[in-house]
Structure 1
Amino acid sequence: MDLIERHQWRARDPKGVVYLQAPPRGVKIHYMGARVDPGIVDDHNRCVEVVKSVQRQHMDVNLWGDIGYTGCACPHRKVFVGRGPGHLPAANGAGLNAKHYAILALLGDEGLVVPPPGLLHGLVDAIEWLRGEGAGREVKGHRDGYATDCPGDQLYAWVRQGARRPDDGGGAVAVPPWHRVLSYPPLMEGDDVRTWQARMRARGWRITVDGVFGPQSREICRQFQIEKRDLHVNPSMVGRVDRPTWEAAWTSPIT
Structure 2
Amino acid sequence: MTLSIQTDEITGENIVTRRDWGADPDGDPTGNGPIEGSPGIAIHYAGSIWPVPILHRNCDEYVRGIQESHMTGLYDDIAYNYLVCRHGYIYIGRGHQYQSGANGTDFGNATYYAICGLTGVLDGPVLIPGTTPPLVSAVRRVIDHLETLGANASDTVGHGDIPGNDTLCPGNLRPYVEDGSFQPEGTTAENAPEPHAHIRVTQTAEPPEWPGVEFTNPPPTEHTSVQVWQEQMATRGWRLDVDGVYGNRSQLACRLFQAEKALDVDGIVGEQTWNAAWTEPVTDPVDWTWPGLYFRYEPASLHPDISRSYPSVTTHTSVSVWQSQMAHRGWNVGAVDGVYGAQSQAVCLAFQDEKGLTVDGIVGPETWAASWDAPID
TM-score range, shorter chain: 0.5 to 0.7
Q: Any idea what the Cα deviations from partners look like across 1:183-231, whole Å, max 9, x if unmatched?
A: xxxxxxxxxxxxxxxxxxx6588xxxxxxxxxxxxxxxxxx9xx5369x
Equivalent residue number for residue 22 of structure 1: 36
Q: Distance in 2 between matches of 1:48 and 1:21?
A: 26
Q: Partner residue of 1:148?
A: 167
**C-alpha distance in structure 2 between counterparts of 1:114 and 1:16, whole Å:** 28
Task: In structure 1, list runs of 5 or more residues that go unmatched.
Answer: 166-201, 206-223, 231-250
1:136 Cα shift?
1.2
Kindly indicate whether the alpha-carbon contact (under 8 Å) linking 1:2 and 1:78 is maintained by their aligned counterparts in 2: yes
CA contact (8 A) 2:29 2:94 kept: no
Deviations 1:12-62 (A, max 9, x none): 122461432523432111111213435x23x212111111000000112x1
Counterpart residue identity of residue 143, structure 1:
G
1:46 aligned partner: 58
Using a 3 Å threshold, how does the CA distance of structure 1 residues 92 and 24 change in structure 2: closer, same or farther? farther
Provide the rounded CA distance (Å) in 2 between the counterparts of 1:57 and 1:70.
16
- In structure 1, distance between residues paired with 2:111 and 2:16: 24
Q: CA RMSD in A?
A: 2.6
After superposition, what is the alpha-carbon deviation per residue over 1:55-99, rounded to whole angstroms, capped at 9, x for unaligned?
A: 000112x13111000000001111000000010100001121111
Letter in 1 for 2:178: R
Gaps of 5+ in 2: 1-12, 197-377
> Do residues 139 (structure 1) and 156 (structure 2) align?
yes
TM-score computed with the length of structure 1 as normaliser: 0.61
TM-score between the two structures when normalised by the length of structure 2: 0.42
Matched position secondary structure for 2:136: helix
Q: What is aligned with 1:228? A: 190
Alignment of 1:87-98 (within 5 A): 87-95=98-106, 96-98=108-110
State the distance in 1 between where 2:34 and 2:62 align. Answer: 27
Aligned to 1:234: none
The 2-side partners of 1:19 and 1:204 are apart by: 31
> Which of 138, 153, 175 in structure 2 is aligned with 1:157?
175
**CA distance in 2: counterparts of 1:9 and 1:53, whole angstroms:** 11
2:15 is paired with a residue of what secondary structure? Answer: strand
Query: Take 1:161 and 1:252, find their aligned partners in 2: how far apart are those partners?
Result: 6
Residue of structure 2 in register with 1:123 after alignment: 139
**How far apart in 2 are the matches of 1:70 and 1:2?**
16
Q: Give yes or no for contact 1:31–1:151 (8 Å, CA) kept in 2.
A: yes
Query: For 2:176 and 2:195, how far apart are their aligned partners in 1?
Result: 14
> How far, CA to CA, are the matches of 2:35 and 2:182 in structure 1?
29
Query: Which structure carries more strand by proportion?
Result: 1
Please say which structure displays the higher CA radius of gyration. 2
| 72 and 204 in structure 1: CA distance in 2 versus 1, 3 angstrom threshold | farther
The CA distance in 1 between the partners of 2:38 and 2:169, in whole Å, is: 20
Moved more, 27-36 or 73-82: 27-36
Aligned to 1:20, the other structure's residue is in SS state coil
**Identity level (%):** 29
Moved more, 22-31 or 43-52: 22-31
Q: Distance in 2 between matches of 1:16 and 1:155?
A: 25
2:359 corresponds to which residue?
A: none
Letter matched to residue 106 of structure 1: L
